[in-house]
């Protein structure tokens, strides 16, 4: 199964590197900028994962083939720049979704092989899947996908939980990988297509109900109470209402 994990890792590096190249093209970067974004996206998450887990050397230092794959991806992209520039806007989030699913499996599996607890393995899968994309978006001066409203990190967490649970049950490794990939990819692609999102918490001001008007015929009525101040509280806002507020603002 080591060969399957290795090639899945390579596939994730290629997909994430390609997403970095696409974003660099849209940000009007030169070939060096394309290489930086591709490298950060392709190996950034795995580098942080290995540093947190105490793995020495980091995976791409021990196997420079990862760097050559990134260089080849950027080189082919420069040659086919005209075609990459014409890709639709929806291609980047879809490519990012495939990279997220692949790296979630790789990060979770690597933590499990190092005998990390299940919750740590899920977090390592999340870190591997989202950290590279976050650095890519920050360098391109974009809001990272993980911080947007659509389901992103939740999909990676779900995929990691599926892999950890199936590994604990002792099911075949290929089945575990397929189920984890399908979970993460299915949730993320569904979120892209149907704009699925989790509800958000917002600090809102609630106005008090109006005080009743005093009766003109009752002379013995007590004086009116002073007006009550509005109250601030945290309120759960459904995704649809939250999106409408964001459009109106």
**55 CB-near residues (< 8 Å, 6+ apart):** 49, 110, 114
pLDDT of residue 81: 78
- Quick one: 115 and 170 in the same domain? yes
* Alpha-carbon gap, residue 34 to 178, rounded angstroms: 31
Q: What is the pLDDT of residues 33-88, one digit of tens each?
A: 999 999 999 999 999 999 999 999 999 999 999 999 999 999 999 888 778 777 77
Q: What is the pLDDT of residues 103-150, one digit of tens each?
A: 999 999 999 999 999 999 999 999 999 999 999 999 999 989 888 767
- Quick one: 114 and 14 in the same domain? yes
pLDDT (average), residues 214-235: 63
- Quick one: 151 and 85 in the same domain? yes
Output phi, psi for 196, to 5 deg.
-75, 140
Q: Measure Cα distances from 247 to 147, 150, 189, 200 in Å.
A: 17, 15, 23, 15
- Quick one: 171 and 234 in the same domain? no
**217 CB-near residues (< 8 Å, 6+ apart):** none
- Quick one: 6 and 42 in the same domain? yes
pLDDT (average), residues 216-236: 64
pLDDT of residue 249: 45
Q: Which of 139, 142, 12, 34 is nearest to 85 (CA)?
A: 34
pLDDT (average), residues 19-37: 92
- Quick one: 29 and 103 in the same domain? yes
Would you place residue 155 in the very low, low, confident or very high pLDDT band (cuts 50, 70, 90)?
Answer: very high
- Quick one: 75 and 188 in the same domain? yes
Output phi, psi for 37, to 5 deg.
-65, -40
Residue 239 structural domain? 200-212+221-248
Burial (CB count within 10 angstroms: exposed 0-12, middle 13-18, buried 19+), residue 174 = exposed
Token look-up 């967490």 returns: 157
Q: What is the pLDDT of residues 172-191, one digit of tens each?
A: 999 999 999 999 999 999 99
- Quick one: 140 and 204 in the same domain? no
**19 CB-near residues (< 8 Å, 6+ apart):** 41, 92, 95, 96, 99, 133, 136
Contact (Cβ atoms closer than 8 angstroms) between residue 60 and residue 45: no
Q: What is the dihedral of CA 100, 103, 105, 111, to 10 degrees?
A: -130
Percent of the chain with pLDDT over 90: 65
Q: Which tokens belong to 79?
A: 């040659």
pLDDT of residue 243: 55
Number of independent structural domains in the chain? 2
- Quick one: 120 and 38 in the same domain? yes
Contact (Cβ atoms closer than 8 angstroms) between residue 108 and residue 125: yes
- Quick one: 137 and 235 in the same domain? no
- Quick one: 65 and 113 in the same domain? yes
pLDDT of residue 2: 75
- Quick one: 204 and 172 in the same domain? no
């Amino acid at each position: 199964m080591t060969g399957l994990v290795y090639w899945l890792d390579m596939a994730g590096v290629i997909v994430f590197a390609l997403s970095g190249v696409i974003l660099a093209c849209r940000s009007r970067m030169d070939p060096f900028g394309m290489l930086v974004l591709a490298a950060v996206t392709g190996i950034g998450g795995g580098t942080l994962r290995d540093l947190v887990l105490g793995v020495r050397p980091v995976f791409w230092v021990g196997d420079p083939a990862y760097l050559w794959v990134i260089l080849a991806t950027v080189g082919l992209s420069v040659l086919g720049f005209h075609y990459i520039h014409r890709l639709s806007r929806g291609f980047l989030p879809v490519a990012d979704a495939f990279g997220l699913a692949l790296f979630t499996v790789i990060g979770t599996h690597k933590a499990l092989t190092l005998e990390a607890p299940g919750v740590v393995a899920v977090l390592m899968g999340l870190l591997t899947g989202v950290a590279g994309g976050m650095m890519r978006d920050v360098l391109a001066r974009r809001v990272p996908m993980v911080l947007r409203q659509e389901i992103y990190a939740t999909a990676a967490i779900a995929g990691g939980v599926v892999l950890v649970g199936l590994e604990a049950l002792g099911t075949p490794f290929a089945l575990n990988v397929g189920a984890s990939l399908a979970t993460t990819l299915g949730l993320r692609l569904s979120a892209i297509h149907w704009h699925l999102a989790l509800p958000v918490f917002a600090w809102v001001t609630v106005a008090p109900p109006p005080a009743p008007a005093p009766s003109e015929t009752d002379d013995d009525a007590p004086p009116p109470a002073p007006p009550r101040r509005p109250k601030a509280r945290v309120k759960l806002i459904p995704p649809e209402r939250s999106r409408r507020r964001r459009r109106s603002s």
